[in-house]
Structure 1
């Protein structure tokens, strides 16, 4: 065995087999592989501690796993003639062919013998990520290799975009580009910079000299930066006598940067670099309302800032992956960037390794969002391989949840659990109807994935449990007098309180009859006497439910008022919470701190999802958009125009009060329209089918570049 070490990232090469030397054939085949999920888990160890609170580190309060340090990769190959390979690895390693250890080799010049043989490479790396790259003409690393963490259970290896020997997975990095700013205030010791909108990046201090300290305060608002040590984040730079130096500070969130120098430290020259994940916006939306267009653009920018190595909650304060926040970001991603890799990294990082000892993020509902999110990822992408890889972790998490049910079969928050739901004041004791609905949906999601993974016995058991649970939820929590689900049941006693949460999700999950949906619409969703939802987090679901019950114009009006209110208050990105009644300093306070509120929060980007799914009306009906539906709606607007990304391209939609134009995707689509009389299609031999109640369906063929449909609008 050959051992080579360089810092904590090891780049090692191996192997010769068979007698005689041969020059290895140059080839670009092969990509870096690793234990499934461990690249994301390793990357999470590098980013989970980025949170800083007033000069001090603030690590997560849940378990952060590390990648397995000892991993065995293996492949059975069968070739008719000898072949040449090159091998690269991150870590110490051992090579075996057919159980024989290879002890003398040239890693750049390896010949494998003809025939059927098993190639094993054991990689050990406790400082980073054990990873392997084999390049060759006929034998090379890809997802068909098997991998084990030495527990004798084998899985298919995971791979990503890494294929360069000089850029292994541990070299993953975000991208940078220079940023401009305006100088707002300056004297001999103070400098206030305005970057003109919320951003994230690194401040670079050049020509540092003198002796003393330089204090750098970051603010999402001018008030926060000028508050100095009351700001959520700041840095202190020690300057020592000698030749002028340059210091690149850690990446921070800010709009304003306030630099204060000690008496003997001249102000430096300042530059800044924007830090970002290079994702392409493949979606788009515009309409007849310029305010909504601005809301869409700011929402997209908010989402982009929080789409980093992972889908994080906010760039200033936490910088953590929260499962509830991430679930919404998965869906927003599918209507904008359609970056599958960042979704998968986030899913793996949240889950970590077995055993399951607490809920994800310690939050009861967040375990359920994690399970449901995997099904949604499959629906949009059709990525069966990912589901099969992650399914064993779904199974153990769901089993953990099921073991914590009470005697009635309902989940409750137990000791150590955080029952979140939303920030609003509410009773969170006992069995909450909202949590039971999430459990039922989690059972259905896991059952579907179990079927894809070939675990039919578990799939059947989960489906049966879901059916039983849904019946019990309706029997126990539905109140005929209130025409709604009541909130909670504790010690066998049912509350009389009605909240929006369970009722919204019953509509979104399609768990109730049309008659009960109508009752929920009248007595809960459109009932102002029921406690209002005020956070963008739960507004994500309330606005979706409004659209599902035919109230798209009401949803659009709310976006115009609520998100428009943030813009009127000076927002350049959308906030964690917003109360139009708050003024001045109280707008920025949260968690008992004057600037604790995040003014760039992922769940604030909700409109990019709402406009794509419910105005452009595009949604997959089967995995990977093999079949899909387009049900566009003006929502009270004069026209809408945009596109929605899919795994194989984008679907374009335009609608005004007379015409609809569609650029279909590669799957089989159905355009659904409401029209006072039968629509007319000017393309090909498209068939228009009546669905009743003035609804019509038009089948879309991928071979047609564009459909134009004349219809007669019902909207005023």
Structure 2
């Protein structure tokens, strides 16, 4: 057994957030399920892929191994009564899973819990034994502790006289953990409490009302029953509801990703024993190949992402992929065999060697292993090797539609960048959820959000974003700013789909992702020493932070907090939660005011990194601008400063840098950065010949980078959002904004997929600006266009239209529908 770091688990908090005193804002440290409709709870769990352990009507699937104890179903709850301890047990055993149970303790002395991977010996006095997640109604407050019922006693926390010797090694540490007010007060003593237990191989994690209370590794049990407990207090009724399980591992690609067979684009004979096969672009897959019926021994297939001197690079840098698999000659069999790609153990880890990251996303066993590659070398093939002997089995989202989107403009390099980025999104759909390339195959919140934005603008039936959101709510990662990205993901999905029901099932869990639990009376987020050293990320890799100085109060973390509050207020309004919406807005206004007085340097006209430093990094200014935090009277100075800056950030932060420039009249600067000379732009990626975008601008900036990382594909969303100018204004695309940002481009045209059909844009930018716009039925658009020098108004379909000149834009008063032609005059 071994204790592991809480690092990744702490980031997956669902419902914990200390009260902040705003009337009407339900952000207490408990998920008070007393007032929540039970039907809503069941629908929410079903919507996230859980299976009921209890059907709400009877005790089908459960049994009582004791000759005493009463179990009844009352109003969709299981009620247990007894005068001695007993457990109600599932009929099935489970191995790896996430189980969720809500418990309501009776008043007075009470103790209960959820048994998991437990065992039953009907002949023993203590019939049920094994792991238990403790529900402790006493003043001891050890709810969420790990107890080994009828066997080894307390595991975490441990205590003298009630734990075996190995567990006593961490007695002081574990008791200190449960003395922490966040854990000690996780249980709502007089209401419903949600227990979530996750078992993955030897890793056991327990949460109470979203508070991680225990993360421990133990090998005593790999599978067993689930059970619920009555502690034996005579006359007391213990209540249970919303009992659900999600068996692990999940394999998201099974139902949403398909294998496509692809013929090679070139086959080149290197020598008598080696043939190089080129599939044109990198994809995640393996090989289908005709196997020689004659000969002896094995041949080899070398898979690679990179060439060196005309051959696959067998010692590529970083995490650029190379691998080799054998194929057997002389089998005597007719037909095509699958030659699997070599397995990288890190891509399949579920518990991990150190426990510092969530489980990797697995691909279906029926596929056999896959990896990213463009080339294969066939070694040991006797005689000529023909193209028809081999194909690549590539994995892509089943509903991917290459015709759903398009983009073309007067700059051919931008067109090439668009195609690179669009294909990067398609190629990285292989896992069924968005993953961080091929190094770990783990979803990360910021990576996923950038993938999500670009996926919406390149495909027309996107289910992967919502699936990834649910995955990350249960397998969150460690960076501070990654948590608010979950708010961004939910908001983006809501804007894309208009699905209020989907959002309502996830709304409460989003409150913790705002970072409110780290805020002070001034509304600003504090970063303690561990946050500053590890959790506050600013940018990645570390060398891309432009010298950012980490302080207790820093501008980047607070910018993300403020944007998360703004989006939460908007979603609360959309769901009719007016009290929450107002409370979020009040907190937002407080934080905005404090942000400006705390971080803005009047002497330079830009933002400092934080309190206690005069350093002003690119990041300290690009994030406030992107999130609209900069006051109107300060905007010109911040924008002017940013216009002078180069791309001193990673492809991740570049998403926000460019958003801020596009939104604040600096479209040509944004386009210049995308196509800039040097090695810090997408031009560099195109010039390299890559077919999927990279994790970093170059290996010298991140020596272990992936060459198949979709957070590097930001132009896939930036070009249609800003050059074509198409964004949703209301959820579900019932209204859109059309605001082209042409820079010095002469024309641009494209097709933007929406839930209601494609929006087609075609504009020219000469002495006047002319825009042809085709809107699908059900979409109305608010339109503004550039106001070139000398223009005096706007024509719509050749007739004068009411429009107001705002700065350098003509804003059309009337909302437009259908097909229209707009031209400045």
> TM-score under structure 2 normalisation?
0.61
Q: Aligned in 2, Cα 1:650/1:526: closer, same or farther, shift over 3 Å?
A: same
In 2, the alpha carbon distance for the partners of 1:306 and 1:208 equals 33
2:484 alignment partner, SS class: helix
Find out whether 1:180 has 2:295 as its counterpart.
no
Answer with 513-522 or 226-235: which moved more.
226-235
Map of 1:296-695 to 2, 5 A cutoff? 296-352=418-474, 360-398=476-514, 401-405=515-519, 409-412=524-527, 415=530, 417-422=534-539, 423=541, 424-425=544-545, 426-427=547-548, 429-430=550-551, 431-453=553-575, 456-489=578-611, 494-523=612-641, 525-528=642-645, 532-561=647-676, 562-579=681-698, 588=699, 592=703, 596-656=704-764, 657=766, 658=768, 659-665=770-776, 666-675=778-787, 676-682=791-797, 687-693=801-807, 695=809
In 2, the alpha carbon distance for the partners of 1:482 and 1:380 equals 39
Q: Aligned in 2, Cα 1:123/1:389: closer, same or farther, shift over 3 Å?
A: farther
Contact map agreement 1:387 1:452 (CA 8 A) in 2? no
Deviation at 1:428, TM superposition (A): 5.5
In 2, the alpha carbon distance for the partners of 1:627 and 1:301 equals 28
In 2, the alpha carbon distance for the partners of 1:156 and 1:69 equals 5
- The one-character-per-residue Cα deviations of 1:395-444 (angstroms, maximum 9, x if unpaired) are 2444xx33345797423265374322212143453232111110122223
In 2, the alpha carbon distance for the partners of 1:262 and 1:39 equals 51
Contact map agreement 2:751 2:760 (CA 8 A) in 1? yes
Contact map agreement 2:775 2:819 (CA 8 A) in 1? yes
- The one-character-per-residue Cα deviations of 1:500-520 (angstroms, maximum 9, x if unpaired) are 223122222221222211010
Q: Aligned in 2, Cα 1:98/1:255: closer, same or farther, shift over 3 Å?
A: same
Partner of 1:88: none
In 1, the alpha carbon distance for the partners of 2:663 and 2:550 equals 30
Partner of 1:253: 372
Contact map agreement 1:419 1:428 (CA 8 A) in 2? no
Contact map agreement 1:479 1:485 (CA 8 A) in 2? yes
Q: Aligned in 2, Cα 1:183/1:413: closer, same or farther, shift over 3 Å?
A: farther
In 1, the alpha carbon distance for the partners of 2:786 and 2:91 equals 60
2:535 alignment partner, SS class: coil
> TM-score under structure 1 normalisation?
0.69
Map of 1:15-414 to 2, 5 A cutoff? 36=44, 70-73=52-55, 126=94, 152=240, 172-181=255-264, 182-187=266-271, 189-207=273-291, 214-223=299-308, 226-228=312-314, 232-237=321-326, 239=328, 243-244=332-333, 246-249=337-340, 250-260=369-379, 270-277=390-397, 278-280=399-401, 281-352=403-474, 360-398=476-514, 401-405=515-519, 409-412=524-527
In 1, the alpha carbon distance for the partners of 2:273 and 2:823 equals 67
Answer with 343-352 or 212-221: which moved more.
212-221
Partner of 2:116: none
Q: Aligned in 2, Cα 1:568/1:100: closer, same or farther, shift over 3 Å?
A: closer
- The one-character-per-residue Cα deviations of 1:101-150 (angstroms, maximum 9, x if unpaired) are 9xxxxxxxxxxxxxxxxxxxx9968469999xxxxxxxxxxxxxxx9999
Answer with 183-192 or 198-207: which moved more.
183-192
1:510 alignment partner, SS class: coil
Partner of 2:221: none
Answer with 180-189 or 627-636: which moved more.
180-189
Contact map agreement 1:39 1:169 (CA 8 A) in 2? no
In 1, the alpha carbon distance for the partners of 2:727 and 2:391 equals 44
Deviation at 1:560, TM superposition (A): 2.6
Contact map agreement 2:573 2:581 (CA 8 A) in 1? yes
In 2, the alpha carbon distance for the partners of 1:124 and 1:467 equals 52
Q: Aligned in 2, Cα 1:188/1:545: closer, same or farther, shift over 3 Å?
A: same
Deviation at 1:365, TM superposition (A): 0.8
Q: Aligned in 2, Cα 1:568/1:380: closer, same or farther, shift over 3 Å?
A: same
Structure 1 unaligned runs (5+)? 1-32, 41-66, 77-90, 102-121, 132-146, 159-167, 354-359, 580-587
In 1, the alpha carbon distance for the partners of 2:463 and 2:702 equals 33
Partner of 1:164: none
Partner of 1:7: none
Answer with 467-476 or 215-224: which moved more.
215-224
2:561 alignment partner, SS class: helix
Structure 2 unaligned runs (5+)? 1-40, 64-70, 77-89, 100-193, 197-227, 229-238, 341-368
Deviation at 1:465, TM superposition (A): 2.4
In 1, the alpha carbon distance for the partners of 2:244 and 2:494 equals 18
Contact map agreement 1:681 1:709 (CA 8 A) in 2? yes
Contact map agreement 1:654 1:661 (CA 8 A) in 2? yes
1:464 alignment partner, SS class: helix
Deviation at 1:694, TM superposition (A): 6.2
Contact map agreement 1:371 1:442 (CA 8 A) in 2? yes
C-alpha RMSD of the superposition: 4.1
* Alignment length (residue pairs): 565
Contact map agreement 1:668 1:699 (CA 8 A) in 2? no
- The one-character-per-residue Cα deviations of 1:555-589 (angstroms, maximum 9, x if unpaired) are 2222233323322222223222225xxxxxxxx56
1:228 alignment partner, SS class: coil
- The one-character-per-residue Cα deviations of 1:673-711 (angstroms, maximum 9, x if unpaired) are 23311122226x884222455643335666x54212231
In 2, the alpha carbon distance for the partners of 1:428 and 1:339 equals 42
Partner of 1:139: none
- The one-character-per-residue Cα deviations of 1:43-97 (angstroms, maximum 9, x if unpaired) are xxxxxxxxxxxxxxxxxxxxxxxx7565345599xxxxxxxxxxxxxx9799x99
Deviation at 1:176, TM superposition (A): 2.0
In 2, the alpha carbon distance for the partners of 1:396 and 1:129 equals 24
Q: Aligned in 2, Cα 1:504/1:314: closer, same or farther, shift over 3 Å?
A: same
Q: Aligned in 2, Cα 1:288/1:504: closer, same or farther, shift over 3 Å?
A: same
In 2, the alpha carbon distance for the partners of 1:633 and 1:708 equals 17
1:415 alignment partner, SS class: helix
Contact map agreement 1:644 1:651 (CA 8 A) in 2? yes
Contact map agreement 1:534 1:578 (CA 8 A) in 2? no
Q: Aligned in 2, Cα 1:674/1:527: closer, same or farther, shift over 3 Å?
A: closer
- The one-character-per-residue Cα deviations of 1:435-490 (angstroms, maximum 9, x if unpaired) are 1110122223233334455655544443332222221111111100111110123x
Deviation at 1:497, TM superposition (A): 0.7
In 2, the alpha carbon distance for the partners of 1:295 and 1:473 equals 36
Contact map agreement 2:725 2:737 (CA 8 A) in 1? yes
1:403 alignment partner, SS class: helix
Contact map agreement 2:301 2:377 (CA 8 A) in 1? yes
2:421 alignment partner, SS class: helix
Partner of 1:48: none
1:363 alignment partner, SS class: coil
In 1, the alpha carbon distance for the partners of 2:321 and 2:809 equals 53
Contact map agreement 2:495 2:730 (CA 8 A) in 1? yes
